[in-house]
Amino acid sequence: MKASKIIIPGIIVFIVVIFQSLFIVQEISQAIVLQFGDPKKIVTKAGLNFKLPFIQNVVYLDRRILNLDNAPEEVIAADQKRLIVDAIARFKIVDPLKFYISVGNERVARSRLSTIINSRIRGVLGKQELATLLSTDRAKQMAIIQNDVNNEAQNFGIEIVDVRIKRADLPPANSEAIYKRMQTEREREAKEFRAQGAEIAQKIRSTADKDVTVLLAEANKKSEIMKGEGDGLRNKIFADAFGRDPQFFGFYRAMQAYEKALIGGETSLVLSPDSEFFKFFGKSATPAIKKR
C-alpha cells in the first residue's frame, strides 16, 4: 500500500516532467527556447524537440508571409497636391533571434513597420508630382519604397516581400473641388455645343427661308407669265370672235354686263331710255338677233 502511494505520484511527476520537456514545432512556425528570458536555442525545422523542464519556455514565431494593412496616410506631392495613400505590405520573419530581441512580438513589429512604411511613402512620393504618382511610374516609386523599408526592416530580422499602394485618393475637399471644376467645364462645353447648334440651326433656317423666297418668286414669275399668256389668249379669242360677228359679240358682252349689274334682283338703275346700255332691250335688238 505504501509502495503504491509512492509509485503513483512518481509516475505523475514523471509524466509532467516529460510533458514539460517536449515541444512540437509546426511547419508554419519557428521557435525560440528561452531560459529565464534569455534565448538559448533557435528551432526552425518542424518536429518534436526537447527543452529543460520548468526552467525553459518556448516562444513561437510565424514562418509564413504576413500581411500588413497600413493605415491611410496623407502625402503632399512635389506640386503641393494632397493625396490619401493606403498602402499594404507583405513581410516574413527571417531571423527569429534578432526579431525577438529587437521587437519581441508581431504586434510591436507591425507598429514599427507601419511607421517606417509611412515615413518612406512620404519621403519618396513627396518628391514626385501628382501626375507621376497616378501614372505607370508609380511601380518604380514603390520599388524604391520597398528597398528603403527592407533596409531598415533587416534590423528587426524581417524581410519585406512586397509593398504596394492599395488605393490613392484625393482628400474629400479636393475631390469636391475637382468635381465642381469638372462640372463647370462640362457645363461650359454644353453651352458651347448649344451655341454652335443654334448657329447651325439659324443658318439652316436662313437657307430654307431663302430657298422658299426663291421658289415663291419663281412660282409667282411662272404664274404671271401663264396669266399673261392666258390673258393674251383670251384677248385673241375675243378679237377673233369680234372679227367674225361684231353684232353678236356686242350682244354677248352686253349680256355679261346685264348679269353682273342686275345680280341679286335688288339692283336699281336710273338711266335714260335711249341709253346705250339698254340698246338690246329695245326693238332694234330684234333684227340683230334675227340676223344672227
- Summarised one tens digit per residue, pLDDT across range 148-193 is 999 999 999 999 999 988 877 776 666 566 667 788 888 888 888 8
Beta strand 29-35 with 38-43 is: antiparallel
- Segment of 130-144, 185-199, 250-264 carrying the highest mean pLDDT: 185-199
Sheet containing 56-62: give its strands across. Answer: 38-43, 29-35, 56-62
pLDDT for residue 204 is more than 60: yes
Q: What is the mean pLDDT of the chain?
A: 81
- CA 70 to each of CA 73, 94, 113, 184: distance values in angstroms, whole numbers, following the listed order: 8, 21, 9, 36
Q: According to the model, what pLDDT value does residue 287 have?
A: 41
- For residue 137, what pLDDT is reported? 73
Give the pLDDT score at 6: 72
* pLDDT for 291 beyond 50: no
* Confidence band for 136, pLDDT divided at 50, 70 and 90: low
pLDDT score for 292: 39
DSSP letters of 109-135?
Answer: HHHHHHHHHHHHHHHHHTTS-HHHHTS
Please report, in angstroms and rounded to a whole number, the separation of the first and last CA atoms in the chain.
179
Fill in the DSSP letter of residue 284: T
The angle formed by the CA atoms of residues 136, 132 and 126, to the nearest 5 degrees, is 130
- The pLDDT tens digits for 63-118 are 999 999 888 888 887 777 778 888 899 999 999 999 999 998 999 999 999 999 98
* Bridge partners of residue 24, in order along the sequence: 48
Query: Can you tell me the mean pLDDT for 254-269?
Result: 68
pLDDT given at position 97:
92
Quote the pTM value. Answer: 0.55
Tens-digit pLDDT profile for residues 229-249: 888 887 777 777 667 777 777
Quote the percentage of the chain above a pLDDT of 70. 80
**pLDDT tens for each residue of 206-221:** 889 888 888 888 888 8
